[in-house]
Chain A
Amino acid sequence: MSTALKAKRAPGQVTVPPLGLAAALMLWGMQNRLWPYAAAMAIVLELARLSPWRWHLSDKDYEHIADVSGIGFVVVVIYVFDTYSFQGVYIILQWLPFILFLVALAQRFGTRKDIRYSALFLSVRRAERKGTIEDAGSIDFDLPYMVVCMVSATVGESGGAWLFAGLVGALAYVLWYNRPRNFRIVVWIGVLAFAVGVGYLNQIGMLKARRAIEPVVMNFFRDRIMSYRNPFRSYTAMGEIGRLKQSDRIVLRVEDLDGGGVPTLLHEATYRSFSKNVWLAGNTAFQEQISDLEGTAWDIEPVPIEGSRAVRISRSLIRGRGMLPLPRGTFRIEDLPVEELHKHQLGALRVNRGPGLIRYTARFAPGRSFEHPPGPADMLVPTDVGPLMSRITADLGLHGARPEEVLKKLQQFFLTRFQYSVVLRRSGPVATPLHDFLLNTRSGHCEYFASATVLLLRSLGIPARYATGYSVQEYSPLENSYIVRRRHAHSWTLAYINGGWIDFDTTPPVWGALEADAASWWEGAYDLLSWLGFKFSRWRWSSDEDEPATNLLWLIVPLLVVLLWRLVRTQRVSERLRGERRHLDRRVQPGADSDLYPLLRVLEERGIARQPGEPLGRWLKRLARRDDTDGIDEIVAEILPVHYRYRFDPHGIGAEEREALKRCVRYWLARYPQ
């Protein structure tokens, strides 16, 4: 016999009306643009109201289902925080209906009508096992799940007014279904309208407050927590001694999109003033850039330029933030799905709130630069090195030479008289590390070369800046693209010549080869791993940053498989038990055609379901205690004994008694309208 479909509603308990969950799920789906999933979930959950099919789940099974959801939650939390940082809170909220779906499903399709607290909470489970709690009770999971769906709906982006209307509608439906019957409907509507009004005003106020406070708080933290290249300040290793630590880690991948070759230098940040081995950007600020409608293309300069080139650069972002390495002359960036892009006055670009991996296309005009023209700060030479610079420029005979001449001679000077070295030395007591470099050791790494060049140019009256970024020099046949390692980080000089900034790199070109020699022996294996990791990241971030949920669903698959396997196994056990019984069941049980059954079905639909282990007599007595079902006592007294005799007495009943049974049942069926 089928178990009853409706459960009796206890006073004071709020139950979710039919289609209530579906409405909440659809609201969530529409708001978060996940409506295909939401529709499927809603249909599956609401099917439970139509179908009598139920899964026989033990307490243990409920615990396993809740555990799987819990593990899923943990996986999601780790994954989301790993990739989105604190931004992830919203994403977790957004995905909660997915995570809790199994539990809701288990309640709807399980034989129990609720979920025990011990299944949901490990602490309660432990306490019950220990015996400190006899029975912690259970909860109707529909309502919490509906609330979760509605909360998750609020995270979504689309239409605030629609969301508010949807929430109000769904809540009003639940409240209407559970409304206290002893008040007039007008009163109920009035109270609801009042609550809606207050809620609406409150929401407007909250929104305004948020808009006012959020930027302030965000800026406060942004300026204090920096995990990427500091665009305001660059500490050099000049003056230190020992071997520079170099890492083989691959930080960038550069693909040539138009066959014109990749630029040799990718610029990340520019600095102006030099003081005690530190380069500073000076008192300059970032400006927010505006993207196009889709949010992935950014115009840095409003000039579409003929003969422009394009490269695609891939890099990972830590906590969604980082500087963008770009070729000089970049005027447009495409495929950059970040929420914020800031441009520094000196040309550095910083992204915020992006995915874990970005793969953007930089369009640049070779030979052009869009940085601000030089100011007085680009001409300053610190007093402690000023005389030194003048001496060297005088020795080289550069005073009065044309700027192009100067550049050529300086390049020659550093190439022939200096050595590149990552081993930092100090020859003796000198005024500054730059003195040591220029006069004594004549060897150093790129920071020495770049700093010295900047200051030499300035002392000659040519505006110059100190630029940092990466040098692109290694082609990987494995990846079929250029790769940039951390040790390829480079610094060079920007010189303002003929009304434009040009890259001027005085570091001897052997530096790349020297550093490659110092590479660790396992670099090859590392590169392969890195490449696989990159491929995985690309796959993970590939589909579209709008819907990372689809990627995550793949992670849930193994969990589902485990759960399904467990369910099938328990099912098979009960199947086996049933199989044993079947040889008995196959013979039609005597009395299986008793006329009482239709009457029982009618009674069952009136409210109280018979538990599987509850004999008819006891169940009918339970029914009789309800006030809306009269006459049960008579059924127990008159019909049940005959039915029992028909069913359980091997001698059975006679034709007359059978006829009487039929008549009585017909009488009662007529009394209980269906």
Chain B
Amino acid sequence: MSVVKPSIGKQSPQAIFAAIAANIERVIRGQTGAVRRLLAAFASGGHVLLEDVPGTGKTTLAKALAVSIDAAFQRIQFTPDLLPADILGVSIYNQKDQAFEFHPGPVFTNILLADEINRASPRTQSALLEAMAEGQVSLDRVRRPLNENFFVIATQNPIEFQGTYPLPEAQMDRFALRFSLGYVPAEEEVEILSDQANAHPLQSIGPCVALDDIDFLKQSARKVRISEELKRYIVDLIGATRSAEGIRIGASPRASLAFMKCAQALALFDGRDFVIPEDIQEIAVSVVAHRVVMEPQARFAGLSAERVVEDALKSVPVPV
């Protein structure tokens, strides 16, 4: 079942996805689903928040993606004393030219890994999040646009609370997807050990697609068709989280938008040029759960946002 006709000299979007995914999976083992989701966010132009305990491969995943697509990669380790200037850049007076000269910060890149984002002060966090939302940085009354393919992978550690500033709800909404990698099965973990016996596999992989291909992938994702009925299904699912029990604030229309875009990307990865309900269900928890604000009592009672979304998936009738 062919999808978008491959133009001459270019791979099909499905092939591009397959190439990147295969490349990443040479480094990150046993995370097929996570790679799919990461690339879906990437292809739909959203950003990703990885929430996981240390050592599960968050940084490696980000790096592998950067290496695979031959893109500029920057990494910021967030600390409590990190300042907005450390991210965005700073203007320094150049005595030779007698003028201020702008030194761009790490944000001017393709792929930015914001490690442990919840360790920085809210002021610094919001500097980054503004850049993410608007694709530009305003500094010294000058607007400086960011790269076309600006993609943020932020990570945070959910189990530490000392010295952290949890992201405000409004800023969580900026991330298209939130998911965790989790532990891999024992056999896979054994293979990870074998892989790293000599050298880190990250050093052995190289770029497999060009930046042009990424543009093409993104364009194709936008062209994936989605029927009115499924749009309605997305809206119903989001609506169900708003009226669910134990929910203070449900998901926003921005969630619906990200939802549709990610579902389109997944359809593309599977070689379809239209969305089916399975695409929507696959991505639902990752898209919606982090945007839902629970009532404190409900949270203490053991209800989680993930559970709310799963319940919505079960209760809202799916088109068949």
Contact = CB atoms under 8 A, between A and B. Distances in A.
B12 to A, nearest CB: 17
B313 A613 contact: yes
B103 interface: no
Nearest to A132: B302
Given A130-B301, A612-B315, A648-B274, A584 B232 contact: yes
Given A581-B232, A589-B319, A613-B318, A648 B277 contact: yes
B274 A651 contact: yes
B188 interface: no
A612 B318 CA distance: 6
B227 A650 contact: yes
B167 interface: no
Interface in A616-632: 616-618
Nearest to A134: B302
A130 B227 contact: no
A613 B320 contact: no
Among B226, B276, B313, B319, which residue has the most Cβ atoms of chain A within 10 A?
Answer: B276
A130 B230 CA distance: 37
Contacts of B312: 613
A614 B1 CA distance: 25
A588 B275 CA distance: 19
A-B residue pairs, 4 tightest by C-beta: A131-B302, A649-B274, A613-B314, A615-B277
Interface residues of B, number: 29
**Residues of A in contact with B, size category:** 20 to 34
A615 B278 contact: yes
Interface stretch (A224-232, A303-311, A364-372, A639-647): A639-647
A649 B317 CA distance: 19
30 contacts: A129-B301, A129-B302, A130-B301, A584-B228, A584-B232, A600-B320, A610-B320, A611-B314, A612-B315, A613-B315, A613-B317, A614-B314, A615-B278, A615-B318, A615-B320, A616-B277, A616-B320, A617-B276, A617-B278, A645-B274, A647-B227, A647-B319, A648-B226, A648-B274, A649-B274, A650-B226, A650-B228, A650-B274, A651-B225, A651-B274
B229 interface: yes
B273 interface: yes
Interface in A637-674: 641, 644-645, 647-651
B139 interface: no
A172 B317 CA distance: 41
Contacts of A561: none
Contacts of A129: 301-302
Interface string A378-416: 000000000000000000000000000000000000000
A1 interface: yes
A651 B313 CA distance: 27
Contacts of A651: 225, 274
Given A130-B302, A651-B274, A615 B229 contact: no
A137 interface: no
A606 B166 CA distance: 51
A36 interface: no
B316 interface: yes
Contacts of A130: 301-302
B230 A641 contact: no
B236 interface: yes
Contacts of B274: 644-645, 648-651
B74 interface: no
A618 B279 CA distance: 12
Interface string B211-230: 00000000000000111111
B157 interface: no
B236 A581 contact: yes
Nearest to A613: B314
Contacts of B281: 613, 615, 618
Given A590-B227, A648-B276, 14 more contacts: A60-B245, A131-B302, A581-B236, A600-B320, A611-B314, A612-B318, A613-B312, A613-B316, A615-B320, A616-B320, A617-B276, A644-B276, A648-B226, A648-B229
A650 B225 contact: yes
B301 A131 contact: yes
A589 B229 contact: yes
Contacts of A613: 281, 312-318
A393 to B, nearest CB: 88
A371 B225 CA distance: 104
Interface string B281-303: 10000000000000000001110
Interface of B: 1, 225-230, 232, 236, 245, 273-278, 281, 300-302, 312-320
Contacts of B318: 612-615
A650 B230 CA distance: 11
Contacts of B316: 612-613
A632 to B, nearest CB: 15
A617 B280 CA distance: 13
Contacts of A600: 320
B232 A1 contact: no
A375 B317 CA distance: 91
Given A617-B278, A645-B274, A648-B276, A612 B317 contact: yes
Given A131-B301, A613-B315, A1 B229 contact: no
A649 B225 contact: yes
Contacts of A644: 274, 276
Given A130-B302, A581-B236, A617-B278, A648 B228 contact: no
Contacts of A650: 225-228, 274
B53 to A, nearest CB: 21
Contacts of B313: 613
Nearest to B310: A613
Contacts of B300: 131
A641 B1 contact: yes
B161 to A, nearest CB: 19
Contacts of A590: 227, 229
Nearest to B320: A616
Given A131-B301, A581-B232, A641-B1, A648 B315 contact: no
B277 to A, nearest CB: 4
Contacts of B229: 584, 589-590, 647-648
Contacts of B275: 648
Among A581, A617, A648, which residue has the most Cβ atoms of chain B within 10 A?
Answer: A648
Nearest to A649: B274
Nearest to A640: B276
Nearest to B275: A648
A611 B315 CA distance: 8
Nearest to B302: A131
Nearest to A610: B320
A590 B71 CA distance: 42
Nearest to A589: B229
A126 B251 CA distance: 28
Nearest to B267: A648
Contacts of B277: 615-616, 648
A647 B278 CA distance: 13
Contacts of A649: 225, 227, 273-274
B281 to A, nearest CB: 6
Interface string A77-108: 00000000000000000000000000000000
Contacts of B228: 584, 650
Contacts of A614: 314, 318
